[in-house]
Structure formats: structure tokens, C-alpha cells
Chains A and B, each alone.
Chain A
């Protein structure tokens, strides 16, 4: 390819939290130092992540409009990059030609990892603001119709049709309505919200502004978890820039319409990812779940009609308005339309974020995209949908990735986190952990969750100590939690527990886990 640093004017080093956790800051410093020492005029951009966590820190150099990747880079690899990128041992070739990138359908993440996250001009040059401009030309009802036509469903996990939720808030009469973005991404195995907020924050702001126009809300909140310090800094900075440039405020893009938003930081409570607990937390209260009805769409933040949407639901909206609902709905299977950012995590060779149309089988995702386990051992179980999602054995790898397809197998897709475990996993211990986690994070309002989770830990311990009779008790307890809990925390904790028990009963035998523990 005849690369040299001649003609290279820009180098990308991700500022994404995962890349930083793997040493990207050291690499960026080494690049700036090397560039200065050689007297080169190269701009270093801290972009978001392309999603290939297995290549992070992924350095890209841009020449003649083509971006060449190098990964996973260390500071000690930088001098060689400047000597001769062509023969660099970590050269990956043009990033857009990599199999991992080519096989994706990047609608929501089209700009993530590509642009400077805080450069509004670049955002616009890569298609940003087209959705908001289209929305500004339409009546609110026509915006909602477009979202309905897209078939978009809540990406936080519940899968409720976004257009119908917006319609309810639109139709409600109130002095003030709100858009609340749920960025309390607490599910293990998920990082799509974080990656988007760090890599393309204006996309979320644009989606929220469109939602505001659609339902008649002038105020929005992003409830962002405290465990994401980088995303908080990025969203704070992007909000200020958006306000300075008329993307937020009393006259958005010169339309005379008003929308503004505020970033609120959570305080380490998993249950605040549940929408009514989130609203209480936003109001300055304990993050205790509210009984429904009333729906937040009618009585949400301080009793006013409120749209509560996940980051990815809102970030999907600019594309839908720019390209049309049909263009989005053209992807997917059954009632699962559009794309889903799969987050391939845990013990997996090629882990990261892979945006694809609904419909790939779990096996394709784990083995073809993810490349099997990182340890090289056989895959034993895959937890889909976070800590409240079911464990799937390889026998169920033919399940297509879709809302209904997963619920028909006693599972859920949740926020599309896919956590892979190899054969060293002790599934009895994972079931116990699910109950333990529920006990730690329960808000305490309803008995099945608050007490059930504690009894669940004890009952699993009894089974693992040899009391086989306690199995029926655990099944019974799970039924009670499932049917009697107020929200998904108590209601869905039975998914990982029962799937572990049903698919891996041998791990609940006393000798089973003692062997596994050795």
C-alpha cells in the first residue's frame, strides 16, 4: 500500500473508556511526543471506539481519505509506526475493509469512532442534524408516525414500541412534559450506551430534541450512571457546545422551538435503571420503584407526562427521521425491526460492539463474530440480556436474535449484552450470584424481591449442600418472584436462576460444584 507518514495529517487514538483502560492515553502521549520530535504537523483526534475492543487501543492514520488501523497498540509500538507504518507488525490495513466492520449494518453507530465526538461541524458533515432538520419541517404527529413506521422498540430491554409511547405523551394534556433519557446502563455485559455517549454524543442530543418536538416537551434529562465518568464529561461538554451552537435552547436551529436538557448523575443504584425508580431518583428521592399505573407517559417526572427512553432508542431516531421509518424497518425479523448493537462480552475472543439487523442466530454471534472463547476452551453458557437475562447453553444457539424469539426460549434480549462463559464456569455459583445481586440491589419496596432474593441465596446454598428437596422450593420461590415483584429486578432474577438450574442441573449437585471449584 506504500504507506509512509508523508501525507498523514491526522491520527486517531480513541478516548473511549475501554481504550483508555487498555492504555490509550499512554499511546496518545507517545504519538504527540514522536510527532513533535520529528517536527511533523499531525493532528491527534481522540475519537470514540469503533467497537473492536479486541483491537483497542486501535490507532488509525488517515491518508488520502483512507484510515489505516493499528492495534492493539502500546506506547512502545509508536516509534515504529512513525518509522514505517507499512511494515508495522500491528498493521491491520484499512479499517473499513476489516471483516468485523464490513459485516455490520451501522445505522445508529455510523459515526461512532469515526468523528471527533465534540466537533459539531464534523458531526454534520457525517450526516448529523439531518434528522432534526427533517423533524423541524413536520407536524409533531408526522414525526411520531415516522417512528411508528420504523417499528423501533425500546432498546433498554422492555421492547415497548417507541412510537406508541411518544403518542401517549403527545396526546396527554399538561403544562410541562419531559424527555428523560435512561443512561443508567447497569447491566453487566453491556456498554452500548457508554460507547455512544463517548463516541457520538450529539446523536443522543439530536434524538432527544426530536423526541421533544414530537411530544411537545421542552425539557429533557439524561440520567447517567456515576460509574461512567468519561461519558459524564463527554455529555456535559457536548451539551454546552450544543447550546452555544443553537442545537439546544430557546430557538433550536433557528426554528423558534425550545428544547434544552440537563445531565443528572446517578449514585450507584442498579435499580435506578428501572424507569419509575429512575424518576424518583431524578426527583431527589430514594430510587424506589413506583407501582404502575399510572404510566410515566401520563404521570412521570413530578407527575407530568414523560417519555422515558433508553440511550439507543433515542440515538436511533435521527436516522429514522433523516432516512425514513421504512428504511429502518427494512432490516430485521418479525416484530424486531431495525438494528441492534450487539455487545459481545465476557470470555470471548473478539469482544466488542457489533451493530447488526435483528435475526442473526446466537451461535453466529458467539462463534462467527465473537470467535468463541478467549481462553480457547469450549463455550458452556451465554448469558443474554444482562444480570436479569437467561443463560443459554450451546443447544439453543440456533435461536435468532429477536424479542419474541428469545422470550419463546424463556429468555430475553434485554439491552443486547451477550456474556460468554467457557467450561470452567460453575453455573450453580452464577445462579447464587444472581440472587445475591438482587438482594444487594433490591429497592426494598416489594416483598418477593426484598425477601425472596435473600431466601434464594439460602435455598441455593441448601441445594448445593445436598438438600435435593430444596430444588422444588427454589422453583416455587422463582415463580413467586416472577409473578409478584413490582419491577424487572425481582421479576426477572428468576431467568438466570431457573435457566441455570434447567440447563445445568449437574452444577447444583454438591459434588458438581466442588469439582468445579478445584
Chain B
């Protein structure tokens, strides 16, 4: 099998870079945009990004790998982010974490085999007076119980 350069990703990346041409230090906004379009930052985007911004591929890779938000492989159709920070732990977060991992049969940062759900930890959503809290796709949910989470998951898939 020959691997051809992914010209569609390259041209899309160049367009995104030129949309951000007037920003100073534009790499994070660009990566956010790439990820919002592809669901992750494809390997084939690294070289065109580096070329367009006149930085090395190592620089781009370094930034992508540094931040928890950027992913180099597709995630599930839905992302469940459970808060693991102290204020949620004080309200029974640990038991809830264990319950969710059991119900979803997923560990942190794993995606279900049908590609439906990715489970991620998050360290604080600013919902600290009404935990345990989670972000389901972009929907915030709080005062979670095992039952409530199971219902939300059923509604989602």
C-alpha cells in the first residue's frame, strides 16, 4: 500500500491558517479549529501547519502533545467528561467515577468499541457547589448520582 500525501487535509489546513493570518501566536486557535472540523488533529495536518506557520514539525507536535484537549486519533461520537477534582470528590465523586467506569465498561481516555462514547477525566468545571459534575458533549450536568448518569447515557446513545 502506498501512502499518498493527504492533499485534502493539507489544503484545508492552509485555508484555516490563512483565516487566522491576522492573529499573533495563532497556533492554539488554529488547532482548535482543525480539531473541531476533523474531531482530532490528523497526522497529515502537522506538516502543512508547520510549513504555513514557518515553524518545525517538532514544534507543532510538541504543542499538540502538550495539551490534554488535543487528540491525535478520533474519539467517540459523544464525549463524557467527569470531574475528578477535590470539590466533586468531597461530594462522593470517587464512588461516582467507579460507577461510571463500570457502567460504561471504559477506563479513562478510552472509547467504546462501537465508537459511541469516550470517557475522559476533567479537573474542575467550576460547578463546585453542586457536584459531582460532568460535561456531556457541551452539556453541563451536576448533582450526579449513578442512576442519573445511567439515564443520561441511555438518552445519549
Contact A190 B126, CB 8 Å, known A265-B32, A269-B66? yes
Chain B positions 6-31 with a Cβ under 8 Å from a chain A Cβ: 23-29, 31
Chain A positions 228-286 with a Cβ under 8 Å from a chain B Cβ: 228-230, 262, 264-270, 281-286
The answer to whether B124 touches A230 (Cβ under 8 A) is: no
A interface residue numbers (CB < 8 A to B): 17-18, 20-22, 53-54, 56, 185-191, 193-195, 226-230, 262, 264-270, 281-288, 301-302, 343-348, 351-352, 374, 383, 387, 417, 419-422, 425, 430, 433, 437, 440-441, 443
Instruction: Tell me, yes or no, whether B129 is within 8 Å of chain A by CB.
Output: yes
Q: How far is the CA of A343 from the CA of B32 in the complex (A)?
A: 31
Minimum CB–CB distance for B123 against chain A, Å: 6
Minimum CB–CB distance for B130 against chain A, Å: 5
The answer to whether B67 touches A194 (Cβ under 8 A) is: no
Instruction: Tell me, yes or no, whether B63 is within 8 Å of chain A by CB.
Output: yes
Q: How far is the CA of A56 from the CA of B140 in the complex (A)?
A: 14
The answer to whether B85 touches A387 (Cβ under 8 A) is: yes
The answer to whether A194 touches B63 (Cβ under 8 A) is: no
The answer to whether A189 touches B28 (Cβ under 8 A) is: no
Instruction: Tell me, yes or no, whether B87 is within 8 Å of chain A by CB.
Output: yes
Which chain A residues lie closer than 8 Å to B32 at the CB level?
226, 265, 267
Instruction: Tell me, yes or no, whether B125 is within 8 Å of chain A by CB.
Output: yes
Which residue of chain B has its CB nearest to the CB of A387? B86
The answer to whether A227 touches B90 (Cβ under 8 A) is: no
For this complex, 26 residue pairs linking A to B, each with C-beta atoms less than 8 Å apart, are A17-B126, A17-B127, A18-B142, A21-B130, A53-B130, A56-B130, A188-B124, A191-B127, A191-B128, A191-B129, A193-B126, A195-B126, A227-B122, A227-B124, A230-B140, A265-B28, A266-B69, A285-B25, A285-B27, A345-B128, A345-B131, A346-B91, A374-B91, A387-B123, A419-B86, A419-B90
Q: Mark B50-86, 1 if CB is under 8 A from A, else 0.
A: 0001000001001100111110000000000000011
Instruction: Tell me, yes or no, whether B34 is within 8 Å of chain A by CB.
Output: no
Which chain B residues lie closer than 8 Å to A230 at the CB level?
140
Instruction: Tell me, yes or no, whether B37 is within 8 Å of chain A by CB.
Output: no
Extra contacts, 9 of them, besides A21-B133, A286-B66, A417-B128 (Cβ < 8 A), are A191-B127, A195-B126, A267-B67, A281-B28, A283-B25, A437-B85, A437-B123, A440-B123, A443-B66
Which chain A residues lie closer than 8 Å to B99 at the CB level?
none
Q: How far is the CA of A226 from the CA of B67 in the complex (A)?
A: 11
The answer to whether B86 touches A346 (Cβ under 8 A) is: yes
Q: How far is the CA of A124 from the CA of B110 in the complex (A)?
A: 49
Minimum CB–CB distance for B34 against chain A, Å: 12
Minimum CB–CB distance for A449 against chain B, Å: 15
Chain B positions 109-139 with a Cβ under 8 Å from a chain A Cβ: 122-131, 133, 135, 138-139
- Chain A: interface secondary structure? mixed
The answer to whether A267 touches B31 (Cβ under 8 A) is: yes
Q: How far is the CA of A17 from the CA of B140 in the complex (A)?
A: 7
Which chain B residues lie closer than 8 Å to A22 at the CB level?
130, 142-143
Minimum CB–CB distance for A274 against chain B, Å: 14
Contact of B142 among A21, A228, A282 (CB under 8 A): A21
For the complex of A and B, the 9 pairs showing the least CB-CB separation, nearest first, are A351-B129, A284-B27, A188-B85, A346-B90, A267-B67, A345-B128, A268-B68, A21-B142, A191-B126
Contact A20 B140, CB 8 Å, known A187-B124, A286-B62, A346-B86? yes
The answer to whether A188 touches B87 (Cβ under 8 A) is: yes
Q: How far is the CA of A345 from the CA of B131 in the complex (A)?
A: 9
Which chain A residues lie closer than 8 Å to B59 at the CB level?
285
Which chain A residues lie closer than 8 Å to B143 at the CB level?
21-22
The answer to whether B129 touches A343 (Cβ under 8 A) is: yes
Minimum CB–CB distance for B69 against chain A, Å: 4
Contact of B138 among A229, A286, A374 (CB under 8 A): A229
Q: How far is the CA of A346 from the CA of B31 in the complex (A)?
A: 34
Q: How far is the CA of A366 from the CA of B68 in the complex (A)?
A: 34
The answer to whether B25 touches A194 (Cβ under 8 A) is: no
Minimum CB–CB distance for B138 against chain A, Å: 5
Which residue of chain A has its CB nearest to the CB of B26? A284
Contact A421 B90, CB 8 Å, known A22-B130, A269-B68? yes
Which residue of chain B has its CB nearest to the CB of A269? B67
Q: How far is the CA of A351 from the CA of B91 in the complex (A)?
A: 12
Which chain A residues lie closer than 8 Å to B124 at the CB level?
185-190, 227
Contact A287 B67, CB 8 Å, known A17-B140, A188-B88, A302-B25? yes
Instruction: Tell me, yes or no, whether B141 is within 8 Å of chain A by CB.
Output: yes
The answer to whether B129 touches A18 (Cβ under 8 A) is: yes
Q: How far is the CA of A56 from the CA of B68 in the complex (A)?
A: 31
Q: How far is the CA of A393 from the CA of B90 in the complex (A)?
A: 15
Minimum CB–CB distance for B40 against chain A, Å: 13
Q: How far is the CA of A230 from the CA of B88 in the complex (A)?
A: 20
Which residue of chain B has its CB nearest to the CB of A517? B94
The answer to whether B130 touches A267 (Cβ under 8 A) is: no
Which chain B residues lie closer than 8 Å to A301 at the CB level?
24
Instruction: Tell me, yes or no, whether B145 is within 8 Å of chain A by CB.
Output: no
Contact A352 B129, CB 8 Å, known A186-B124, A267-B28? yes
